[in-house]
Structure 1
Amino acid sequence: MNDYHKTYLTFRSFTMDGGKISREKTDLTVETPLQIIVNGQPHTLIMFTPQKIRELVFGFVFTEGLIKDFKEIKDCKVSDVRKEDGEEVIEAHIEIVSKGPLPSAASGKRVSYSSCGICGTENYNQMKNGLKRVKSAHRFTMDMLKELSNRLEEFQPLYTRTGGAHAAVLFDSKGEQILHCEDMGRHNALDKVIGSTLIRGISSEDKVLVSSGRASLEMILKTARAGFPVFVAMSRPTSRAVEAAKFYNITLIDMARDTNRIYTHVRRIKGF
C-alpha cells in the first residue's frame, strides 16, 4: 500500500525539558485532499484522513442533500493518487440520480476543510433542503449513555497513536457498538458513519451517536439527515447546535468534564 494511504506517518521531533534536548519519533495523523466529482463535475475538495473513502463520499453527498436514498447512487470509483499543481490528490467519481443542476458544481472550486462542515450560504441552504424532524419513540437510560461515552476511547486506535483524530461511534438501544470511524475532522468521521449505515442498510430510529468532537450546527444537521435521535458529545455544544437539535427533535447531550447535560428533548431519557 502506498504511504499516501496510511492513516498516520512518523516524523522526527524534539523535546526540551529543563534545558535537556531529546530527539524522538512522533506519529501524526495523515491529512490529504479528496476531490469529490459528482456526475463528471468537480464538486468539492475535502481535507481528510484516507480511510473508508467510499463511506465518506456516500455520507457526504447524503448529508449535503444531493441524494435522499442510497438507491440514488449509481456508481462510485476512487481513483489512484494523482498530482495537481504539485499536490497529491485522491479523486472520488460518484454518479448519482439528479433531476437538476448540482449546487456548487459549476465552479468546482469549493474547499471544505476538516473544521468546516458548512462552507458557504449555498451549501448551508442545500443541507437544510428537505430536512425533516427525527421521528423516534425509543428511550434510553442515562447510565447507559454515560457508559457509552466512557467507552469511546476503545474505538479510537488512531487517536491513541497520534493524539490528533476525531471519532464517531454508533450504538444501538442496548448499548452495542455498531459502527465506528475516525478522521482528522469530526464532520468527516460522522459522514463516514452515515455512509456506512447507507451501505449496510442500518436503520436509525433506535441509535445513539457518540462524537469525540463538539456538537455544532452542521453536526446536528448531518445527524438530523441521518435520523439519529440521540447525539452525545464530549464537549459543550454551540448555541446554534442546541437550537437546531430542539427544532429537529434530537436529544443533545454533552459529557464534558465528567458531567451530563441534556439540552433538548429530555423525554427520551428514562426518569424524566
Structure 2
Amino acid sequence: MDSITPISGQSSTGEQSRASVKVSVQKVKGLNSFPAEEFLAVEEPLEIQLVHGPSNARAMKSISVTMRTPGDDFELAAGFLMTEGVVRDINDVERITYAPESMASAPESDAWQQSALPYQPRLNKVRVELSPEVEVSLANLERNFYTTSSCGICGKASLLALQTVCPARIRNSFAINANILYTLPSRLRESQSVFDRTGGLHGAGLFNADGKLLAMREDVGRHNAVDKLLGSEFLADRTPLRHALLLLSGRASFELLQKALMGGVFMVASVGAPSSLAVQVAREFDIILVGFLRDDHFNIYHGAEHIKGKTAV
C-alpha cells in the first residue's frame, strides 16, 4: 500500500481551479439586463480502469465512466470500488495512478483556446491496480453490480443483493443529541468552498456524535460526493465508519444508503427526502435514517431511540 499516492484532485496543484470555471452571462432583474460573470461547477467524465488477476496474467478493463467535478479522483475511484463490493480492505489495492495515456496534452486550436467552457481531457482516467489475490467478478462489474433507484429491478432483489456482500453488521450503538443534529447542515454548507462560488454542487460530510466535521467532499453528482468521501476514509484505513454520521446535502436514495451500508456507516441524515427503498434499506440493516433535516425540524424514518434530547408530545 505504500505505493498508493494519496493525490486528490482538489489538493493537487491547479486542480482546485479545475473545479469551477468563470463564464460571461446576461443577468436579468425585472426587465433590466446587464452583463456579468458567474462561476460554474465543472463537469467532466472520469474513466475508472481496473487492473486485476494473478501476477502472470494481469488484465485491464474499463469498468465505469462517471461525470464528476475534477478533484479527489483517487478517492472517488477507491470509494466506488469499495461501495460496489469490489474491494473490502485497503490491502486489496496495490496502486492508484492516472492512466499514462491520459497525461498527453490535448491538441489545441484557436477555437479550443477561445472556448468559454474549456474541456480538459488530461487527468480524466484513473487506473486502480488490485492485489493479485483479489478475485473480480467481471459479470457483476458489467451490470454495475447493483441497480440504481432509477432502474427497473425490484426492491426485494436489491435488498437481497446487499445482504450477500455487505460488511458484517454489529449492534448499532451510535447516538446523537437532536440539538447537535440541527447544527450539522449549516456546518456542512460552510465547508463547501466550491459551492460558494458556483451554487451547483452536492456535499457529503462525516460528523461524529459531538457534531465535529470529520471530512467533507463535494461534486456535481450526489453519488460521486459520497464515493469521494468514503474513498478518502477507505484509503486512510478508517472503514468501517461506525463512529460517524453521513450527512447528505440533497435527498437520500437507495444508492446512497447502499454506499453508507458498504462503508459501515450507522447513521445517515439528509437535507432532502429519502426514497421508499432507502427507508427499506435503513430498516433492514439498522441504519438510523433522518430526512428533511432543517433548522427546526426533521423526520426520523428509522432509529428514533438513537436520537436523544427530544420530547414526545
Q: Per the shorter chain, which TM-score range?
A: 0.7 to 0.9
- Structure 1 length normalisation: TM-score? 0.86
Q: Which runs of 5+ in 2 are unaligned?
A: 1-12, 52-59, 108-118
CA distance in 1 between counterparts of 2:16 and 2:149 reads 24
Counterpart in the other structure of 1:20:
32
Counterpart in the other structure of 2:80:
60
Larger Rg computed on CA atoms: 2
Worse-matched range after superposition: 196-205 or 36-45: 196-205
Which residue, 88, 93, 99 being the options, matches 2:121?
88
The amino acid that maps onto 2:81 is V
Counterpart in the other structure of 2:246:
209
The residue matched to 2:211 in structure 1 has which SS?
coil
Counterpart in the other structure of 2:233:
197
The residue matched to 1:77 in structure 2 has which SS?
strand
Counterpart in the other structure of 2:110:
none
Counterpart in the other structure of 1:268:
306
Which residue, 203, 207, 221 being the options, matches 1:167?
203
Q: Which runs of 5+ in 1 are unaligned?
A: 111-115
**Contact conserved, 1:135 with 1:229, CA < 8 A, in 2?**
no
CA distance in 1 between counterparts of 2:305 and 2:125 reads 44
CA distance in 2 between counterparts of 1:81 and 1:232 reads 39
The residue matched to 1:54 in structure 2 has which SS?
helix
Which residue, 238, 242, 258 being the options, matches 2:279?
242
> CA, structure 1 residues 136+217, in 2 after alignment: closer, same or farther (shift >3 Å)?
same
CA distance in 1 between counterparts of 2:18 and 2:178 reads 37
Counterpart in the other structure of 1:138:
174
1:21-170 paired onto structure 2 within 5 Å = 21-39=33-51, 40-79=60-99, 80-81=102-103, 88=121, 90-97=124-131, 98-103=134-139, 129-132=164-167, 133=169, 135-170=171-206
Between the aligned residues of both structures, percent identity stands at 27
- Structure 2 length normalisation: TM-score? 0.75
Deviations 1:74-95 (A, max 9, x none): 11111345669x9836111111
Deviations 1:204-254 (A, max 9, x none): 112111110210000000001111111110011111111111111111102
The residue matched to 2:121 in structure 1 has which SS?
strand
The residue matched to 1:145 in structure 2 has which SS?
helix
Worse-matched range after superposition: 29-38 or 73-82: 73-82
